[in-house]
């Protein structure tokens, strides 16, 4: 089904559109690996009811929307099975952003959809800071459901000057500890037991299974970077980065073995990874 409005065409994503979708996300202003179909494909088939859409203006692809429905067609969620979703676009002007939002509202009304829940990537993921889509949504009476807290480290500044006294003391001890070393190696079999133990201490489980991480590493080569901390050749911690796009690396997991917490592996990992 196609909906036309002011030269806007909305088309459901199909597998034959894979190359066009992936290339658009990689060249977009705010796209991340979480918007790639290759990332979404790591889920077991049938786990989610994916219905993603491609939005064209004047015959040119100008936005994509990964996601899917819940409760029949009543609720549309973006993303499903990922950290970030919502509309991926280029550096749009406001008039086009508003036309896209209006077209989406009309399209989902035609589907009988009553609610849209969209989780966009934080602004730092954008190559050019542009919030025209978000402003257009607010202009059309969208509202905020949740505000998530995030923290980022700007690698263009001397971050070590911002260490507090405790961090300076711990990193000084780490640098003198010849038994502690950090290795970059995607050895998920070594890392996963540490991760499970770490999550268990907080009465939770990892978002991904061991098989999930291995599959993601195969689907997205060079987009996952695992750093392992060893003490006398014993693995005592790990930090897993998702290289989300050219702007941002996301620390998805930072786990340590609490038996070795006095060796400060968390501090060692963070400092090494930032360096």
Residue 4, pLDDT > 60, answer no
Q: What is the mean pLDDT of residues 33-49?
A: 89
3-state class percentages of the chain: helix first, strand second, coil last, to nearest 5 = 40, 25, 40
Domain pair 3-139 / 159-274, same fold: yes
User: According to CATH, what is the number of the domain 3-139?
Assistant: 3.40.630.30
For residues 90 and 28, the answer to whether their CB atoms sit within 8 Å is yes
Q: Which two tokens stand for residue 52?
A: 């993603």
* End-to-end Cα spacing for the chain: 50
- pLDDT tens for 219-268 read 999 999 999 999 999 999 999 999 999 999 999 999 999 999 999 999 99
The pLDDT, as a whole number, for residue 45 is 78
Mean pLDDT of 14-24: 97
Q: What is the pLDDT of residues 182-218, one digit of tens each?
A: 999 999 999 999 999 999 988 999 999 999 999 999 9
Which DSSP state fits 180? Answer: E
Chain segment 97-144, per-residue pLDDT in tens: 999 999 999 999 999 999 999 999 999 999 999 999 999 999 999 999
Structure tokens at 244: 């989300």
Residue 58: strand, helix, or coil = coil
Under DSSP, the state recorded for 202 is: T
Tell me: the pLDDT tens digits for 48-107? 889 999 999 999 999 999 999 998 899 999 999 999 999 999 999 999 999 999 999 999
What's the pLDDT band for 3 if we cut at 50, 70, 90?
very low
Q: Residue 58's pLDDT is what?
A: 92
Do residues 244 and 232 make contact, with C-beta atoms less than 8 angstroms apart?
no
Boundaries of every domain in the chain: 3-139, 159-274
CA 76, CA 68: separation in Å to the nearest integer?
6
CATH of domain 159-274: 3.40.630.30
Strands 75-78 and 115-118: parallel
pLDDT at 6: 54
Q: Phi/psi class of residue 195: alpha, beta or left (left: φ > 0; alpha: ψ in -120 to 50)?
A: alpha
The predicted pLDDT at position 161 comes to 84
| Chain segment 240-254, per-residue pLDDT in tens | 999 999 999 999 999
Instruction: Find the angle CA(154)-CA(160)-CA(163) to the nearest 5 degrees.
Output: 105
Q: Taking the CA atoms of 192, 197, 198 and 199 in sequence, report the sign of the dihedral they define.
A: positive
141-148 LR contacts (CB < 8 Å, sep 24+): 142/116, 145/117
Element (H, E) at 63: strand 60-65
Q: What is the largest CA-CA distance in the chain?
A: 66
Task: Identify the DSSP state of 68.
Answer: E
Task: Give the percent of the chain with pLDDT over 90.
Answer: 80
The SS3 assignment for 155 reads coil
Mean residue pLDDT of the chain comes to: 93
The reported pLDDT for the residue numbered 23 is 98
Distance from C-alpha of 68 to C-alpha of 70, rounded to nearest angstrom: 7
């Amino acid at each position: 089904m196609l909906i036309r409005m002011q030269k806007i065409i909305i088309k459901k994503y199909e597998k034959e559109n894979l190359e066009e979708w992936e290339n658009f996300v990689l060249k977009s202003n705010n796209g991340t690996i979480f918007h790639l179909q290759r990332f979404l494909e790591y889920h077991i088939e049938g786990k989610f009811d994916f219905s993603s859409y491609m939005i064209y203006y004047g015959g040119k692809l100008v936005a994509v929307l990964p996601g899917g429905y819940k409760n029949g067609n009543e609720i549309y969620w973006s993303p499903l099975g990922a950290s970030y979703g919502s509309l991926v676009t280029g550096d749009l002007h406001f008039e086009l952003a508003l036309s896209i939002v209006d077209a989406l509202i009309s399209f989902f009304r035609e589907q009988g959809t009553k609610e849209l829940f969209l989780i966009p990537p934080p602004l730092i993921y954008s190559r050019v800071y542009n919030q025209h889509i978000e402003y257009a949504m607010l202009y059309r009476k969208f509202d905020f459901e949740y505000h998530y807290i995030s923290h980022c480290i700007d690698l263009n500044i001397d971050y070590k000057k911002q260490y507090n006294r405790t961090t300076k003391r711990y990193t000084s001890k780490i640098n003198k500890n010849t038994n502690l070393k950090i290795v970059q190696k995607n050895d998920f079999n070594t890392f996963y037991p540490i991760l499970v133990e770490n999550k268990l201490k907080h009465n939770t489980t990892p978002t991904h299974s061991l098989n999930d991480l291995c599959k993601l590493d195969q689907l997205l080569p060079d987009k996952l970077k695992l750093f392992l901390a060893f003490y006398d050749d014993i693995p005592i911690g790990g930090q897993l980065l998702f290289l989300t796009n050219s702007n941002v690396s996301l620390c998805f997991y930072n786990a340590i073995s609490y038996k070795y917490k006095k060796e400060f592996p968390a501090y060692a990992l963070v400092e090494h990874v930032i360096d």
